[in-house]
Amino acid sequence: MSHLQIFFVIFVIVGMTGIFGYPGYDDGAHGYGGGYEPKYPPHPYGFGYEIKDHLGNQQYRKEHSDGKKVIGSYGFTDAHGIHRLVDYVADEHGFRAKVRTNEPGTANQDPANVHIQSTAYHGPIGDYH
pLDDT tens track, the chain, 129 positions: 566 666 565 666 666 555 555 555 444 555 555 567 788 888 999 999 999 999 999 999 999 999 999 999 999 999 999 999 999 999 999 999 998 999 888 877 666 666 676 777 666 655 544
d(CA 8, CA 38): 36
| pLDDT value at residue 57 | 94
Q: Model-level pTM?
A: 0.58
- Contact yes or no for 110/98 (Cβ under 8 A): no
Q: 6 Cβ partners below 8 Å, 6+ apart?
A: none
Q: Which residues contact 22 (CB under 8 A, 6 or more apart)?
A: 28, 34
